[in-house]
Amino acid sequence: MTDAPSSPTRSGATDTASATRTPGTAAPATADSADATLQVTDVTVRFAGLTALDQVSFTVEPGSVHAVIGPNGAGKSTCFNVLSGVYRATSGSVRFGGTELTGLAPHRIAALGVARIFQNLALPPRATVADSLMLGRHRLTRAGFLATGLRLPSASREAHRHLERVREIADFVGLADDLDRPAGELPYGKQKLVELARALCMEPKLLLLDEPVAGMTADERRDTAAVVAGVRDSLGISIVLVEHDMGVVMRLADAVTVLDFGKRIAGGTPAEVQDDPAVVQAYLGAPTP
């Protein structure tokens, strides 16, 4: 793990953010930090005899960035799929606040305030950025189809409130000048920011970020890392991060869980994990005799 910076501390994330730009003034998220602890306990996932996760446990503290890292095939994607309800654990428990998530459908987990961003882009290519972000407000919309179609005053007022919130979040992530542009015409890095903003429009308590800086240029990685740091520091939203860029992980993460062949082999602060012999061996291979 030689590409990690020499001082992998949380202050690095603050330095990254201040070195690029200061996030906007989006209103605080509605997350209640007292109910935002994610507790993963002895989670095992098996597929036809293959054990993808083997009694994995970790805790994500409210308002923190918790990175889940490991070599290819370590079980990171399987872990995310369990957290978001795509996969059901064979055994073990996933609790978010006081709610057991194991066995819940993805839409029910999303309704509890868990939002996920996938590695691959999934934006309507011809929809504007504003329309793409409004999709994130869908679960918060109370006006029915009839009220909206008839443009009743209550529906119009609600639509206006949602649009104002979309503008606030767009400003927060640096997309205020792009709201009227088709999302599919934006540079790759900005398209990833649109997906992050759309997730924030859901007013989540917990964000699951799957390789948020993959495929970006150095400048795009720096800008995106600044936004992620702002989500934690300014909005207090908990984040679970899967990322192969160890520089980004070591700068942003408050805690790290390391997986290898489906097992948790290490955990702790970035500095502790970086120097763990088991982690070095998992990434670099066993030393030559």
For residue 283, what pLDDT band results from cuts at 50, 70 and 90?
confident
- 113 and 37 Cβ atoms separated by less than 8 Å: no
- Residue 25 reports pLDDT greater than 70: no
Domains of the chain: residue spans and CATH:
9-284 (3.40.50.300)
For residue 289, what pLDDT band results from cuts at 50, 70 and 90?
very low
- Residue 287 reports pLDDT greater than 60: no
The model carries a pTM of: 0.81
Closest-CA residue to 165 (of 116, 124, 202): 202
- Residue 109 reports pLDDT greater than 80: yes
Mean pLDDT of all residues in the chain? 83
pLDDT digits (tens, 9 = 90+) for 197-256: 999 999 999 999 999 998 899 999 999 999 999 999 999 899 999 998 888 999 999 999
- Residue 31 reports pLDDT greater than 70: no
- 203 and 113 Cβ atoms separated by less than 8 Å: yes
Cα four-point dihedral sign 76, 80, 86, 87: positive
pLDDT digits (tens, 9 = 90+) for 45-75: 999 889 999 999 999 999 999 999 999 889 9
